C-alpha cells in the first residue's frame, strides 16, 4: 500500500514502499492537465506507484509524461511497465540513457553484476519501451510536467546520464541522486557512488551548478523534500572526498574489496547511528548498499590513478 503526501498545491510525493521500507524511494506526481511523474521507481513497485496516483485522486490513464533523472533501476526501472499499462505515457530521459530504455539488455546485465540473484526480488527487470515513446532531453531543455515547467540540467558524477529538473518559479529542484541520500528528520547525507560512472570532478561541478540555481527546496528520490540546501550540498561534497580518501588508503594498505567494505560499513554505521540514533543506518543500506559505494570508489581510483 503506497503512502502519499501533498508537498505543494500541485505536487504529491508517493512513497513506493520499496522492500517494505518506508522513505526509501520516492516518485513525484505533478498535478495538471495532464498530470505527470518525475521518476518511476523500480519495476517491483509499479503497482504501488499506480495506487499512489489513484490515492492522490488522479486516474493513472490521464498521465502523459514521466521524466526520469537517470536510468538506474531504482529510478527508471518501472518506466517500461508503466508505459505498457498506460498507452499514452511518454518517457523523458537523458540522451545517454535513452537507448537503454528502448533496449534495456545492457542495463539489466550491468545491474545483475551488482545485485546478483537479488536483482529480481529487489528491482525486477525493466521492460523495453517503444522508441517513439522515449524522448531524449537536452541540457537546458524545458519540459511541461503537469502544471510546472521544469528545466533539465546535466548533473553527472553519480552517473553520466543524470539530469536534475528545476522549477524556476517555485525553486524546487528534483535532484535524483545528484544531491545524495538524505532522509526525513535527519541531517546526515550519504554519497551514493556505485560503479561504473562515479566521477568526483564531474560531481563537484554538478554541485556547483546546483548551488548556482539557488533552489529553495531539494526534492530527493532518496528521500523527499529538504530545505537545508547549502549545508546538505556542502556535506555531500565532504562525504564524497571522505569516501575516496578512505578507499584509497585501504587500497594502499593492501586490503581486499571485501575488507574495505567491512571497514567502511562499520565506520558509516557508527556515524549515522551517532547522528540519528541506534539502528538508523539500516535504511541507508537498503537504499545504497555500502559495497556498491566502495566498488564505485575503487573503480574511480583505478580508472583515474588518483
DSSP code, position 193:
-
Query: Phi/psi of residue 29, each to 5°?
Result: -100, 120
Topology match between the domains 1-139 and 155-306:
yes
**pLDDT per residue as tens digits for the range 90-121:** 999 999 999 999 999 999 999 999 899 999 99
> What pTM did the predictor assign?
0.96
Residue range 49-59: mean pLDDT, rounded: 97
The Cα angle at residue 177 between residues 172 and 182, in degrees rounded to 5: 75
Q: In this structure, which CATH number among 3.60.15.10, 3.40.50.720, 2.40.50.140, 3.40.50.11810 belongs to the domain 1-139?
A: 3.60.15.10
The chain-wide mean pLDDT, for the chain, equals: 95
Q: Measuring CA to CA, how many Å separate 191 from each of 151, 206, 270?
A: 24, 14, 16
The domain locations on the chain are 1-139, 155-306
Q: Is the pLDDT of residue 278 over 80?
A: no
SS3 142: strand
Q: What's the distance, CA 154 to chain centroid?
A: 14
3-state secondary structure of 16: coil
- Decide if pLDDT at 173 tops 60: yes
For residue 146, the model assigns a pLDDT of: 97
CATH superfamily of this structure's domain 155-306: Ribonuclease Z/Hydroxyacylglutathione hydrolase-like (3.60.15.10)
Alpha helices in 103-254 (DSSP H): 105-115, 119-122, 200-213, 229-252
Query: Is the pLDDT reported for residue 248 higher than 70?
Result: yes
- Nearest one of 196, 190, 195 to 177, comparing CA atoms: 190
Q: Which residue has the cell 498530470?
A: 35
Amino acid at each position: 500500500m503506497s503512502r502519499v503526501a501533498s508537498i505543494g498545491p500541485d505536487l504529491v510525493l508517493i512513497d513506493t514502499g520499496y522492500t517494505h521500507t518506508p522513505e526509501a524511494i520516492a516518485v513525484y506526481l505533478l498535478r495538471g492537465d495532464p498530470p505527470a511523474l518525475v521518476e518511476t521507481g523500480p519495476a517491483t513497485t509499479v503497482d504501488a506507484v499506480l495506487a499512489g496516483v489513484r490515492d492522490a485522486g488522479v486516474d493513472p490513464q490521464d498521465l502523459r509524461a514521466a521524466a526520469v533523472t537517470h536510468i538506474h533501476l531504482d529510478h527508471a526501472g518501472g518506466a517500461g511497465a508503466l508505459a505498457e499499462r498506460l498507452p499514452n505515457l511518454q518517457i523523458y530521459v537523458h540522451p545517454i540513457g535513452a537507448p537503454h530504455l528502448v533496449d534495456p539488455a545492457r542495463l539489466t546485465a550491468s545491474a545483475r553484476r551488482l545485485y546478483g540473484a537479488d536483482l529480481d526480488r529487489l528491482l525486477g527487470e525493466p521492460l523495453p519501451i517503444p522508441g517513439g515513446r522515449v524522448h531524449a532531453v537536452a541540457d537546458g531543455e524545458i519540459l511541461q510536467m503537469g502544471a510546472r515547467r521544469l528545466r533539465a540540467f546535466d548533473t553527472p558524477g553519480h552517473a553520466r546520464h543524470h539530469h536534475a529538473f528545476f522549477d524556476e518559479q517555485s525553486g524546487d529542484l528534483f535532484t535524483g541522486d545528484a544531491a545524495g541520500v538524505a532522509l526525513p528528520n535527519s541531517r546526515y547525507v550519504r554519497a551514493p557512488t556505485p560503479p561504473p560512472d562515479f566521477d568526483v570532478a564531474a560531481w563537484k561541478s554538478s554541485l556547483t551548478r546546483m548551488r548556482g540555481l539557488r533552489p529553495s527546496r531539494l526534492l530527493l528520490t532518496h528521500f523527499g523534500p529538504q530545505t537545508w540546501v547549502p549545508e546538505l550540498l556542502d556535506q555531500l561534497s565532504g562525504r564524497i572526498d571522505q569516501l575516496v580518501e578512505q578507499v584509497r588508503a585501504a587500497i594502499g594498505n593492501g586490503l581486499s574489496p571485501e575488507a574495505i567494505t567491512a571497514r567502511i560499513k562499520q565506520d558509516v554505521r557508527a556515524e549515522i547511528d551517532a547522528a540519528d540514533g541506534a539502528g538508523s543506518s539500516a535504511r541507508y543500506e537498503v537504499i545504497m548498499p555500502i559495497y556498491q559505494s566502495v566498488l564505485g570508489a575503487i573503480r574511480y581510483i583505478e580508472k583515474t590513478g588518483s
